[in-house]
Structure 1
Amino acid sequence: MTTITLVQGDITRQSVDAVVNAANSSLLGGGGVDGAIHRRGGPAILADCRRLRASQYGKGLPTGRAVATTAGELDARWVIHTVGPVYQGSGSDPALLASCYRASLEVADELGARTVAFPAVSTGAYGWPMADAARIAVEAVRAAETAVEEVRFVLFDEQAYRVFAELLR
């Protein structure tokens, strides 16, 4: 049984087996969580991402998929990069967002990770409404068949924390 915990704070400061990065498809860094992970984790993460782009993801990582790299200087063994969907109102596909969580947990299982820290994927620049994104995230994690023992949602601000906490009550 996977335990779900909540933390309000900085995902780059978590001590876990794997940190999930809300990446863009290029895998080459960006803003928000992605930029913070690359900055704190250092150049080893970007070097791994470049190798992935040169080998199997020449056109970038598809939305809803996940792939792992080293965690560099983070207090983790791996970074699992997943590309969330951009919210486009009623035309947005919640299955793609749920897939980010499922695919990340599948990668975590392949790696043998037991503790995984997730951000609220797609809720920043990609604009997914927090309440809907939180519901999708929690449902996807609860439904996943995984050996991961703890999924930790690391939420940057108090409002996001409250939305997730309300769901888990």
Structure 2
Amino acid sequence: MIETVRGDITEQRVDAVVNAANSSLLGGGGVDGAIHRKGGEEILAECRALRASKYGGGLPTGQAVATTAGRLPARWVIHTVGPVWSSSEDRSSLLADCHRNSLRVAAELGASTVAFPAISTGVYRWPVESAAEIAVATVKEELRDSSLTLVRFVLFDDDAYGAFSAQL
């Protein structure tokens, strides 16, 4: 099942929340900052360990990796780096990869419920209608052969909520 809700992703009681992270994995603004602030030092400590080992140069755009959720009500945070919008280069496949790879990581963890934000629609300036179309289509495709029971898009404002709901 896929659903949309208007709300705060840091309050979702799901197995995994997806973080629209920056490549450093060390926190930032928007969703990334909110998850790190509310989740606490445990998330940052695991992100630092990832940077010290496997992702010394940062997490590549479209890839996904999991950490603890710290003080969040979820069990895990799946960090993914969305692409920056470009009017001169089609980066749609990278945005689709964010969703596809996040769902793959969720399945590997044994998660059955996942919450996504509107990846790349904040400071990365991706048009929300386009992001919604790519995100929902990718999730629908991936859920066909998945053990996940719920994917929830958690949207912070009315515009994003409307765009994602229209795609369902």
| TM over 0.5, shorter chain | yes
Residue 75 of structure 2, aligned match among 74, 77, 88: 77
Aligned CA-pair RMSD? 0.6
- Using the size of structure 1 for normalisation, the TM-score is 0.97
Give, in angstroms, the shift of residue 90 of structure 1: 3.3
- Corresponding position of 1:108: 106
Post-superposition CA distance 1:124-152 (Å, at most 9, x none):
00000000000000000011132111000
* Structure 2 partner of 1:13: 11
Displacement after TM superposition at 1:159 (Å): 1.2
AA paired with 1:100?
C
1:36-61 residue CA offsets vs partner (Å, 9 max, x unmatched): 00000000000000000001000000
What letter matches 1:34 in structure 2?
A: D
The answer to whether residue 147 in structure 2 is matched with residue 147 in structure 1 is yes
Displacement over 2 Å in runs of 4+? none
Cα deviation, residue 92, structure 1: 3.1
Q: Which residue of structure 1 aligns with residue 30 of structure 2?
A: 32
- The residue that corresponds to 1:166 in the other structure is 166
Q: Which moved more, 1:153-162 or 1:140-149?
A: 140-149
Gaps of at least 5 residues in structure 2 are: none
Q: 2:96 aligns with which of 98, 103, 111?
A: 98
| TM norm structure 2 | 0.97
Match in the other structure for 1:135 = 133
Q: Distance in 2 between matches of 1:87 and 1:146?
A: 29
Q: How many residues align?
A: 166
Identity score, percent: 67
Aligned with 1:23 (options 21, 31, 39): 21
Distance 1:88 1:5 in 2: 28
Distance in 2 (alpha carbons) for counterparts of 1:24 and 1:158? 24
Choose which of 33, 55, 58 in structure 2 pairs with 1:57: 55
List gaps (5 residues or longer) in structure 1.
none
For 2:44, the equivalent position in structure 1 comes to 46
Which amino acid is the alignment partner of residue 74 of structure 2? A
Give secondary structure in 2 for the equivalent of 1:79: strand
